[in-house]
């Protein structure tokens, strides 16, 4: 299993924040679903920080294992 580091930049206007939630689409959910599409594995992504709803990020670091 390999550990991958990614650096993320996003406009959070349309999201409920970083962390996966039941009340809407999160950045974490979107990235996990995208990784699954290209790897056929279901990763859990861990962010070095979180953002609230509507907050943008530039240079946010996250990691996941495949």
**Exposed, middle or buried: residue 10 (CB in 10 Å: 0-12, 13-18, 19+)?**
middle
- Give catalytic residue positions: 52
Determine the Cα–Cα distance for residues 55 and 19; give it in Å rounded to an integer: 12
């Amino acid at each position: 299993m390999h550990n991958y580091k990614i650096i993320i930049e996003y406009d959070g206007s349309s999201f409920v924040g970083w962390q996966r939630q039941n009340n809407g689409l999160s950045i974490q959910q979107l990235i996990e679903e995208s990784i699954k599409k290209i790897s056929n594995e279901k990763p859990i992504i861990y962010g070095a920080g979180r953002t609230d709803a509507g907050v943008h990020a530039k240079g946010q670091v996250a990691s996941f294992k495949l």
